[in-house]
Amino acid sequence: MVKKVLTWGGIAFLVFFVAFRPDSAADVFKSLGGGVMDIAQGFSDFFASLFA
């Protein structure tokens, strides 16, 4: 029950955030995407070094 409430609350917050602060939401997603890309690049460099 708590998991369902938190899930729907998170979705509602996300919709509210994107609807009323689109510029801030875009900045957050750019930052998250950049972080994911940095992690992927780190794994790529690690495996390239491992097999080189």
Query: Going residue by residue through the chain (52 aa), what tens digit of pLDDT does each one get?
Result: 999 999 999 999 989 988 999 999 999 989 999 999 999 999 999 999 998 7
Rg (CA), the chain: 17
- Does an H or E element contain 24, and which? helix 22-51
The pTM (predicted TM-score) of the whole model is 0.60
Q: What is the pLDDT of residue 8?
A: 96
